[in-house]
Amino acid sequence: MSLTRRTAISRSRVWLYLLGFAFLGLAVLEGVAAQSTTPWSGPRQGAPAVSAAERAWERHLARFDGALGAGDRSAAARSLGDAYRAAVASARWEGLVAVGDAYLRSGDVLGSRMDVTAMARRSYLAALTRARQRGSLAGLLRTAEAFAALGDREVVAQCLTISQRLAARTGDPEAADQVRALSERLEGRRVDLATLVEF
């Protein structure tokens, strides 16, 4: 068996594993959605401001950007790992999306494109779960955009379905309009890409 063929088979297996993890993540999200019995009633009045501990990931991302700019691969990897852990500890979705975006910004500096894409996807899936748990329409829509940028249509559809349900529960026509607008914009992007591929 040639080296090229073995490499292609290895890459195929990696993609299959990644798809399996993505579907597992979706199954978990569906389970969480099915178990949720408390409808979202909008943001809590008088909700406390975000604490410094909940925004600790920002400091780590600033270090990551500095290290990335300086070409310090090990410091960049360390700072990004710290940012991910801080984002997970924050119990909010914003940091997880920012960390996913940072993985994509890192390019090939932290590993192969496939590796950083997988790490970004992991972060975005965690953000989606958090946004769903917190009843954050903004978080759900932002994660839909993130998955659209990855070309992951199945997860985008899941994000939009959860967003539509949340908007319907709120009864807020503006929320429904936001979901509809993003759906149309993402559908337009998909059609544009399909047209480009045909040529």
Considering the domain architecture, whether residues 184 and 124 belong to the same structural domain is answered as no
**Distant-in-sequence, close-in-space partners of 75: CB < 8 Å, separation ≥ 6:** 63, 67
Considering the domain architecture, whether residues 93 and 113 belong to the same structural domain is answered as yes
Residue 5 lies in a domain: no
Instruction: Give the integer Cα–Cα distance in Å for 72 and 134.
Output: 36
Q: What pLDDT, in 10s, does the model give residues 28-82?
A: 444 434 333 333 333 444 444 667 777 899 999 999 999 999 999 999 999 999 9
Q: What pTM did the predictor assign? A: 0.70
Residue 111 lies in a domain: yes
Decide if 92 contacts 50 (C-beta within 8 A).
yes
pLDDT score at 131: 97
Residues 166-181 have a mean pLDDT of: 93
pLDDT score at 52: 72
Residue 180 lies in a domain: yes
Considering the domain architecture, whether residues 69 and 120 belong to the same structural domain is answered as yes
State which residues form the domain around 185: 136-199
Half-sphere exposure of 111 (CA within 13 A, CB side): 11
Residues 77-101 have a mean pLDDT of: 96
**Distant-in-sequence, close-in-space partners of 118: CB < 8 Å, separation ≥ 6:** 18
Q: Which of 97, 119, 134 is the last residue of a domain?
A: 134
Quick count: other Cβ atoms within 10 Å of Cβ 131? Answer: 27
Tokens 């759906």 locate to 183
Q: Which of 134, 165, 186 is the last residue of a domain?
A: 134
Angstrom distances, CA of residue 26 to CA of 32, 89, 159, 198: 10, 22, 10, 30
Decide if 96 contacts 130 (C-beta within 8 A).
yes
